[in-house]
Structure 1
Amino acid sequence: MSGVTWQEYEILRATMDNYPGLRMTYLKGTLELFMPSPEQETSKTTIARLIELSSLEKNIRLYGCGSTTYRKKAKERGLEPDESYCFGRVKEFPDFAIEVIITSGTIDKLEVYSGLGVPEVWFWQNEQFRLYSLQDGKYEEVTRSQFLPDLDLDLLATYIKMPDQYDAIVEFRNAIQEK
């Protein structure tokens, strides 16, 4: 939808909070609504469990914020990531967010995230990661996370692709403990 004011977005967001799973992305008058598919939810949960396991194994203080609604009126931006995390402590905005892309919408999510000041965004699409780091107000694609630089993304991807989530978690734990 286009031509949606910030006030209308906030009213819709408040009204629709009763619909579990409904996601909204808002960027300067354009609003996108969508419901995640079972495939998207399974992938984002597997990714989250693997990242959280890795941080525990490496004794990294990682705080999961899930799909919290993040918004900034002054920048006319708002969204709910598939997953989001803070390091060290919980903050107003996450240190990094994860988006699982099954079908693309029309809104450029990196533009939304840049207005929110989220330092890093991970996209999982076509069974691979693409990471973006915010540099001087713009995202640049990077090959390693600034927050989890030792995390082997190719190894992580291998376990996300496994058909059984439980087995993936157990095998990933074994693999990282061997390193």
Structure 2
Amino acid sequence: MLLKLNQIDVPPGQKVLLRNIDWSEFEAILQELGEHRAARIAYNNSILEIVTPLPEHETRKVLITNFVEALLEEMEIEFWSLGSTTFKNAKMYQGIEPDNCFYIKHEAAVRGKNRLDLTIDPPPDLALEIDVTSRTHPNIYEALGVPELWRFERGELQINVLQNGKYTEVEYSPNFPNLPLKEVIPQSLKQCQKEGRNKTMKAFRHWVRSAIA
């Protein structure tokens, strides 16, 4: 490469595309970028995308993560959250960093692991993407076999389930059956802005307990 990565500045909400990146170059770029960074990557058939999220993106990511964790805790379901872990498969020339991800049904298979290899380990059961910068790559998640993908865009929650290798939008999450999360989570996000996080989380947990009783 003619430029070094430390010479590239990606402003919040913007992205950079690097073309004709082979797998060894992709691995080297990941190592150079390091794990403690704001930028997120997506790698698809030799094209590498580097995006720096906006502040509002990070706020929504954290709050929706809190709601998912509250759901799993109230339902007494063990889970393992791996945040923006880099998921990659060299055989498929695919790589992605979700805004967050959760192992639920396969929690025991990855519990305590710091490194994952999707040629051996299962993909996360649920991936979360906040589309403030429109960076979601559902085709990469499809190729990696992630069963469920949540996209939050323009104030709406979209729940996608992998069926025959392609995502289909559904009304209810298979991980949280019969719960109207497409309505409740966006409403709760708005409530956070009006009433504060703690009061909203308390009300959300109360709603979950009532809904599953």
TM over 0.5: yes
- Counterpart among 54, 58, 74 of residue 75 in structure 2: 58
1:26-105 superposed matches below 5 A: 26-88=43-105, 89=107, 90-91=109-110, 92=121, 93-105=123-135
TM-superposed CA distance for 1:167, in Å, is 2.5
Q: State the Cα distance separating 1:79 from its structure 2 match.
A: 1.0
State the 1:19 CA deviation: 4.5
Give CA-to-partner distance per residue, 1:148-172, whole Å, 9 cap, x none.
2143211122112221322321221
Structure 2 segments unaligned to the other structure (5+ residues): 1-17, 111-120
1:165 maps onto 2:197 in alignment: yes
Alignment of 1:102-113 (within 5 A): 102-105=132-135, 109-113=137-141
Give the match's secondary structure for 1:178. Answer: helix
Length, aligned pairs only: 177
TM-score, L = length of structure 1: 0.91
- State the shift of 1:66 in Å: 1.0
**Is residue 104–residue 125 contact of structure 2 (8 Å, CA) maintained in 1?**
yes
Residues 1:176 and 2:208 aligned together: yes
Separation in 2, partners of 1:47, 1:138: 24
The offset of 1:60, in angstroms, is 1.5
> CA RMSD, aligned part only?
1.6
- Structure 1: which 4+ aligned runs deviate by more than 6 Å? none
Distance 1:65 1:152 in 2: 25
Cα distance in 1 between the residues matched to 2:149 and 2:42: 15
Percent pairwise identity = 29
TM-score by length of 2: 0.78
1:141 aligns to 2:169 (yes or no): yes
- Secondary structure of the 2:63 match is helix
Higher relative contact order (CA closer than 8 Å, sequence separation 6+): 1
> What is the aligned partner in structure 2 of residue 155 from structure 1?
184
Cα deviation, residue 56, structure 1: 0.9
Larger Rg: 2
1:156 partner SS? helix
Cα-to-partner distance string for 1:5-39 (whole Å, 9 max, x where unaligned): 12111110111015422211000011110112211
> Contact conserved, 2:150 with 2:159, CA < 8 A, in 1?
yes
